[in-house]
Amino acid sequence: MADPTAGAVPLLRVRDLDVTYPGPVPAVRGVSFDVAPGEILGLVGESGSGKSSVCTALTGLLPAGAHRRADAIEFEGTDLAALRERDLRRVRGRRLAFVPQQPMTSLAPTTPVVRQLRWYLGDRLTDVEVRETLTGIGLGPVLDRPRDLPGSFSGGQLQRVVIAIAALAHEPALLLADEPTTTLDATVQAQVLRLLLTLRDKLGLAMVYVSHDLAVVSTICDRVGVMYGGRLVEIAPVRELFAAPRHLYTRALLAAMPATTPADRPLRAIEGTAEGANLLPGCPFAPRCPQVLPVCRERMPEPTAHGPGTVRCHLASERVGA
Amino acid sequence: MSALLDVRGLTRRFTLPRPFGRRTAPRVVHAVEDVSFEVAAGEVLAVVGESGCGKTTVARVLAGLDTATSGTVALAGRELTGGRTPADQRLIQLVTQNPRAAFNRRRTLRHALDQPLRVHGLGAGRAERDALVAEMVERVGLSTEHLDRLPGELSGGELARLVLARALLVRPRVLVLDEPTASLDASVKATVVDLLLRLRAESDLAIVVITHEIDIARRLADRAAVMYLGRVVELGPAASVLARPRHPYPRLLLASVPVPDPERIGPASAADFGAGAIGEVPSALDPPSGCAFHPRCALATEVCAERRPAREVLDDVEVACHHPG
């Protein structure tokens, strides 16, 4: 895929990533993208589109039986795909941090949260620094309950604790966040997003933010990648993507959003389902595409640069301004 | 009375079991406190709020699955008591959140849709029931081929439409939808929203939509009620409540929900979320004194902690706040 950050050295460079789980259906097929230092890249898609698998594959934490193949997964100049598990551990958690979707299952359930914070942050920060930092992100009340176990805190507090550990325990250059706010309420989600952006500003963190929520992605990301049927079908700077989506799936997705459709016009749902899309030899969206061509069913379109973005669609160039 | 559904002073408290061996006073969860609203035929009321605010309990009490501690639910002027007869049960139908969990996985959808007709004795015989089912399935935009399949063979969007079809088959007067789109993918949500709008236009159902998705509520609702810790804090036309709310809680809620507004798309900074939330929704076990929102409210004064604000009419909305904007 053409390098969207041409000129700058990317922090993360992924080329032609495939992920398969046992069974006939591939989860991720030929996904390539870059992340620049300090950049927030959003990955959006529906359930089963492979966005979480991309995230997990980058950490090397795929479950047993899953298989990862890539031409390159270069992170800070090191090819993660070639590293042995032992060497990968020096990178993961230190330079490459991961925030999972479920904060409840990420902390030890029978150890007080404050003691766990000391495990992870105690080496690098003094108690006073820990208090200053956590108070700054609204976690002061957690430190005032030194004996309380994870179970007695709310999901929003735990998610912020997990993010604080991921971002502060070492000096990560890249934070992978897999649906970090999906289980949270709107007012708490706003606090977590604020925390992530604060960390980005303070520490210069880059982020891969996986979400199915286009609205969240539209407000926090610099660039957005759209996944469908295991393929990355379009990647573009966020304003371009929302103002002038090129791929027909992206267009259909935006047209189906209540917030982008005037109240007096019906929403346009996408006919059909994504089922089986991961197995198609051509464009995964072809069966549901309103302008499908015979070639779409036969061959996956090659990535083509359009302005600052990259699209994989046979029709993208003809439809400019359509 | 013009309203079809009339809810007055609805309160539901749950008493928690006493911890073993302790002689403490029983602890009470104030799930729903003094909730009142009306819904006219052909009208959609959205009930909006965050988790734990009591909106699902309201849905369960409306549908007769739970009994109110106090307060009344009346339909067309007649009060429906807690222990409902099957005939009354039929009049208010509840559609639950996850359509995948709403069907027996081992029976066909024909069976699933036939059951309510048999239970309520609608349709004279097999043939008539089949005809009713077929008509309804087409009304929600599916074909009768879907009926011979198992739930696992259908997509989430198709199942969501079939759950609606099943609820509508028994000809209810009121439809209560609990998070109808929460478990659906973005492209499928639109199907369900459009279907609901069409159903509203072609029938005189009163619809109560319980949701935490503000954009879905804006799309569907004529009127909206915002709940916080079991109480309705603001109630009025959706165009007012979900666009220019007067109570600080809905204001905070609207400010917290990211909206892909073409003007505002683009990388944000932390400051863009700076005006947002402080703290989290407190426990309904021990709700704050006075106005339950005061510990998180930027406008709170002494009176907010001391006295619960009464619901007052301000222009076209009712607001329970000492300092409405």
DSSP A42-111: EEE--TTSSHHHHHHHHHT-PPTT-EEE-SEEEETTEEGGG--HHHHHHHBTTTEEEE-S-GGGTS-TTS
Pick B264 or A7 by higher pLDDT: B264
Using a CB-CB distance cutoff of 8 angstroms, which residues of chain B are in contact with residue A236? Answer: none
Instruction: Check residue B273 and give its pLDDT.
Output: 66
> Where residue A28 sits, what CATH number does that domain have?
3.40.50.300
Same domain, A194 and A292: yes
Determine, yes or no, domain membership for A50: yes
Same domain, A80 and A198: yes
Determine, yes or no, domain membership for A321: no
Determine, yes or no, domain membership for A159: yes
Ranges A137-141, B27-31, B89-93, B215-219: which has the least confidence = A137-141
Determine, yes or no, domain membership for A145: yes
Tell if the CB–CB gap between B260 and A221 is shorter than 8 Å. no
CA end-to-end distance (rounded Å), chain A:
24
Q: What is the mean pLDDT of residues B213-237?
A: 93
CB count in 10 Å sphere of residue B275: 12
The number of distinct structural domains making up chain A is: 2
Instruction: Check residue A1 and give its pLDDT.
Output: 45
Using a CB-CB distance cutoff of 8 angstroms, which residues of chain A are in contact with residue B187? Answer: 46, 252-253, 256, 269-270
Using a CB-CB distance cutoff of 8 angstroms, which residues of chain B are in contact with residue A218? Answer: 258, 260, 265-266
**B10, pLDDT greater than 90:** yes
Instruction: Give dist(CA B308, CA B199) in Å, integer.
Output: 39
Query: A29, A12 in Cβ contact below 8 A?
Result: no
The domains of chain B are located at 5-18+26-260+269-320
- The whole domain housing A253 covers 12-95+172-311
Burial class (CB in 10 A: 0-12, 13-18, 19+), A252: buried
Q: What is the mean pLDDT of residues B229-250?
A: 95
Same domain, A142 and A241: no
Domain boundary among A147, A169, A191: A169
Per DSSP, what are the bridge partners of residue B314?
B317
Question: Is B286 at the interface with chain A, CB within 8 A?
Answer: no
| pLDDT more than 70, % of chain B | 93
Instruction: Check residue A3 and give its pLDDT.
Output: 46
Same domain, A134 and A65: no
Same domain, A154 and A34: no
Instruction: Check residue A8 and give its pLDDT.
Output: 66
- Report residue B164 as tokens: 């609606």
Tell whether ipTM is more than 0.85.
no
Same domain, A147 and A226: no
Instruction: Check residue B76 and give its pLDDT.
Output: 92
Using a CB-CB distance cutoff of 8 angstroms, which residues of chain B are in contact with residue A267? Answer: 189-190, 193-194, 219
Tell if the CB–CB gap between B258 and A216 is shorter than 8 Å. yes
Distance between B37 CA and the closest CA of chain A, angstroms? 24
Same domain, A147 and A219: no
Same domain, A55 and A182: yes
Same domain, A84 and A141: no
Return mean pLDDT, chain B.
88
Tell if the CB–CB gap between B186 and A253 is shorter than 8 Å. yes
Tell if the CB–CB gap between A190 and B277 is shorter than 8 Å. yes
Cβ contacts from A onto B, under 8 A: 141
CB count in 10 Å sphere of residue A77: 8
Instruction: Give the 3-state secondary structure percentages of chain A, helix then strand then coil, rounded to 5.
Output: 35, 20, 45
Instruction: Check residue B1 and give its pLDDT.
Output: 47
Interface of B with A in 27-56 (CB under 8 A): 50-51
Tell if the CB–CB gap between A259 and B260 is shorter than 8 Å. yes
Using a CB-CB distance cutoff of 8 angstroms, which residues of chain B are in contact with residue A269? Answer: 157, 187-191, 194
Using a CB-CB distance cutoff of 8 angstroms, which residues of chain B are in contact with residue A214? Answer: 186, 260
Q: Which residues of chain A have pLDDT under 50?
A: 1-5, 320-322
Same domain, A90 and A198: yes
- CATH of the domain spanning B5-18+26-260+269-320: 3.40.50.300
Same domain, A176 and A75: yes
Q: What is the mean pLDDT of residues B18-38?
A: 83
What ranges in B182-237 are assigned the alpha helix state H? 186-202, 214-220
Domain boundary among A169, A192, A217: A169
Distance between B12 CA and the closest CA of chain A, angstroms? 23
Determine, yes or no, domain membership for A6: no
Nearest CA in chain A to B276: A190
- Report residue A144 as tokens: 């005032």
